[in-house]
Structure 1
Amino acid sequence: MYLDITENLFNLKLFLKHRDYAPEFKDIKESGRVGLPCIVINDGEQIVFDYTTLDIEDIKR
């Protein structure tokens, strides 16, 4: 699901609620960052903070 957090306050709140409880964001929050941009794959199976580390071919499998 694509979510544009700049579209409205509701979308931003949805993202922040997910971020606040997802363990993958722990290091991001502790370093004072928001955690954007990120790509969430398969309902949270993988969360990517740096798109250059994303292996598109691996995702297709």
Structure 2
Amino acid sequence: MKEFLSQNNIKFAFLDISESLFNLKMYLKYRDFRPEFDEIKKAGRIGIPLIVVNDGEKLFFDRPDLDELR
């Protein structure tokens, strides 16, 4: 996903949830409370990779349409 964003000149901050407890907690805040994760959790999936736009305005689990990121 990082390569896709970089190749398309999309500015982003990459957070590795295994790097720190803080990063993991930020991810879990979305996973535990956002309805976008309901189907993902029902299917037994994790929901990674995740793209969060503007502090949670939009969430993407797959490669989004680039217009939605610009």
TM class by smaller structure? 0.7 to 0.9
Give TM-score scaled by structure 2 length: 0.67
- In the other structure, the counterpart of 2:51 is 39
Structure with the greater relative contact order (CA < 8 A, sep ≥ 6): 1 or 2? 2
Gaps of 5+ in 2: 1-12
Q: Could you state the TM-score of these two structures normalised by the residue count of structure 1?
A: 0.74
Structure 1 gaps, min length 5: none
In terms of fraction of residues, the more helix-rich structure is 1
Q: What is the total number of aligned residue pairs between the two structures?
A: 58
Structure 2 residue corresponding to 1:14, chosen from 2, 26, 33 = 26
Moved over 6 A (4+): none
Aligned-pair identity (%): 53
Aligned CA-pair RMSD = 1.7
